[in-house]
Chain A
Amino acid sequence: MSKNQEHIDKSKLSLLKKVMNILIPEVDDLPSAGLLITDEKILELLYKYNKYFSSYNKFINAIRLDPNCRASGGFESLDYENKEIVLKELEQNIPEIFNNILEMTLLAYYSNNKVLDRINWKRKTLQPEGWELEKFNPKILDKIKLREPFWKEI
């Protein structure tokens, strides 16, 4: 276990997942992001990339110090609309940190197989298969080829 790993406690992780639920809500038969994304996936990203780890700690501190959260007994106690208001304020006040948390959430959510099945995307390497497109057909140039040169000679 690295030094960083020692600093992640369950209550912080739980709070982060409640934030994730607001960032990406449930859809069809899929639960919201905080319920879908596993602790393991979050920890994997936090340990792998310092930008997420350092933002995570700052973000959790910011949310705990938020006056609206403190006045109502914590982020968890707010109703949906007020949770959204708190997050919008954080997005405005600490944009870089907020965006790193959002990016980590999107990375974790959109690499979940259930999500990918729903959007009909196969998680694969892009190489060596690639995609196929029809070859260039010069016929499409018929109209533009009629135009006289219009670059400026100096």
Chain B
Amino acid sequence: MIIQHDPTDILIIGAGAAGAAVMWDLSQAGFKVVCLEQGSRIQPDTYPVNHPNWEELALNDWNYNPNIRKNSSDYPINTENTDINPLMYNAVGGSTIHWTAHIPRFHPSDFNVKSIDGIADNWPINYWDLEPYYDKNDEMMGVSGINGDPANPKRSKRQMPPLPLGNDGELIANAFDSLGWHWWPSDANVNSIDYKGRKACNMCGPLGHGCPRQSKASTDITYVPYAIKNGAELRVKARVSKITTNNKGKVTGALYYDKDNNEHFQPANGIILAMNGIGTPRILLNSSSNKNPNGLSNSSGQVGKNLMFHVYANAQGIFDNIKETYKGPLATIIMSQEFYESDKKRGFYRGYTFQMNRGMGGPIHVSKSVNWGKNHHKEFENKFGKSLGLGICGDDLPEESNYVELDPILKDSNGIPSPKIHYKVSANSRKLLDHGLKNAEIVLKQAGAKEIIKSEHDSEAGWHLMGTARMGKDPKTSVVNENCQSHDLENLFIVDGSVFVTGGGVNPTPTIQAIALKTSNYIIKSRTDLKS
């Protein structure tokens, strides 16, 4: 028997970076909001850094990879045919629980790749359309940073001063200065001073596995409490199996399972999908019917297509002149966008961001990066506390051969078909990464590295899941319009990374959140018909 619920104005699926933001915005505007989240609320005392075996926990129960972690809230993903493994976290707060909170924005050029480079597509919106929503999100999440970065348009005043650079950060900053190359302190959703009742960061290090001090912003603490206060209802351990439709071209609600495997139906006037570039196409494809045999909102055939991660490589320098690089936030120190904008002379399209990374954490994480056998101890001593990395986060362009589909066999614990992903690093991406590695070596040498270890391609770098329900003006080639409204179903919206047209060369979360808030603003202003 299916348990029926009272209708709601807006049903949001997913309480992560985007879902929590629209839950807050719409509930504040008086919409009746229900949010379904397949994960649970994570209690801060369970975060690894509260425990002496934090490295063991980080490699297992808190692993970034859901196929390794295998929590009850995770679903399996077939990754047999991908160069990059997708990473995500399923819980209230979503992947902001385990992100490093490094929050560069897209550049104006990222929205016009077709016009600039003659490849991929332009977005139907631009940087200036999103700017007020970047600012609105910054206020809620709290940004440590400083204005004046010459690589980016001027921004509103940052809420907090930059995080400490540390001796290691200063070393790299000076190296960039010596070369005459750009660098700037990272904007970070990590508090450098107390902000909105959340304490300043105490530099413990591994941001990626939850922050019990609440110094790192995650949407379970920045948006969700305010949304609940507004009257929004959040149901956890609620896994959606299917979105339902009527004959009038509208969605009507969603079927979902609770933790005890009971099936529920939540009717709604409008639905917002707020998962990620894998979860969203999975649900749309799983919602096929006689009327929509190829899945929901898929008249274009674009659902699941154009999967983008960011291609990622890393060069690590070993230094004699620094120590204790495990102190301080992992990856919110400085960035360089010297090679961000396209330059045809380089032989590839688009560009990349250098993101400085501190040492690799505690001894167990460092030991995993050195060889076993005779030289193990020597290599370990060389590296532990003395290594710094420059990550290369490269623009990833859309290609139809990179896609998400439903696996014909693999299912989750509720029997819902799982996704299978297909992704190959393109020739353009390879050239881009090689260029980045060469330049990273120059910077690290300039900083005094005695040895440089290059990782040409990081297969465990699938943090950013984008592109699989893309935005566009033409219903024949895109899934949603500039308001993130489905071309096929006028009361269905998508606000996660799947709507990205191109990937940019930066971490996507602030852009995802800005798009979400722009969409909720559209609903508030123009879709009062969805309000009961």
Identify which of residues 349-367 in chain B touch chain A, using a CB-to-CB cut-off of 8 Å. Answer: 362-364, 367
In the bound assembly, the distance between CA atoms of A147 and B151 in angstroms comes to: 9
| B60 to chain A: closest residue by CB | A49
- The interface residues of chain A lying within 8 Å CB-to-CB of B49 are 125-127
- The interface residues of chain A lying within 8 Å CB-to-CB of B150 are 144-145, 147-151
B153 within 8 A of A: yes
Cβ-defined contact, A107 with B55, below 8 A: yes
Cβ-defined contact, A25 with B364, below 8 A: no
- The 8 A CB mask of A125-140 against B (1 = contact, 0 = none) is 1111111111111101
Identify which of residues 38-74 in chain B touch chain A, using a CB-to-CB cut-off of 8 Å. Answer: 47, 49-56, 59-60, 68, 70
Known contacts A111-B53, A136-B185, A138-B146; A84/B373 CB under 8 A: yes
Known contacts A119-B384, A150-B150; A127/B213 CB under 8 A: yes
In the bound assembly, the distance between CA atoms of A123 and B305 in angstroms comes to: 46
- The interface residues of chain A lying within 8 Å CB-to-CB of B184 are 144
Identify which of residues 141-158 in chain B touch chain A, using a CB-to-CB cut-off of 8 Å. Answer: 146, 148, 150-153
- The interface residues of chain A lying within 8 Å CB-to-CB of B192 are 136
Cβ-defined contact, A131 with B203, below 8 A: yes
User: Which of B159-167, B219-227, B271-279 is found at the contact surface with chain A?
Assistant: B159-167
- The interface residues of chain B lying within 8 Å CB-to-CB of A145 are 148, 150
- The 8 A CB mask of A38-76 against B (1 = contact, 0 = none) is 000000010011110000000000000000000000000
Known contacts A123-B52, A126-B49, A133-B327; A110/B364 CB under 8 A: yes
Query: Measured between C-beta atoms, what is the minimum distance from B359 to chain A in Å?
Result: 12
Which residues of B pack against A, CB within 8 Å? 47, 49-56, 59-60, 68, 70, 107-109, 111-112, 115-116, 126, 146, 148, 150-153, 161-166, 170, 173-174, 176-177, 182-185, 192, 201-206, 212-213, 324, 327-328, 340-341, 362-364, 367-368, 372-374, 376-377, 380-381, 384
A147-B182, A151-B107, A151-B152 known, 15 other contacts, Cβ within 8 Å: A23-B376, A24-B377, A49-B60, A106-B367, A111-B56, A121-B363, A126-B205, A128-B202, A138-B146, A140-B165, A140-B174, A141-B148, A151-B108, A151-B109, A153-B108
Which residues of A pack against B, CB within 8 Å? 22-25, 27, 45, 48-51, 84, 87, 102-103, 105-107, 109-111, 115-116, 119, 121, 123-138, 140-141, 143-145, 147-154
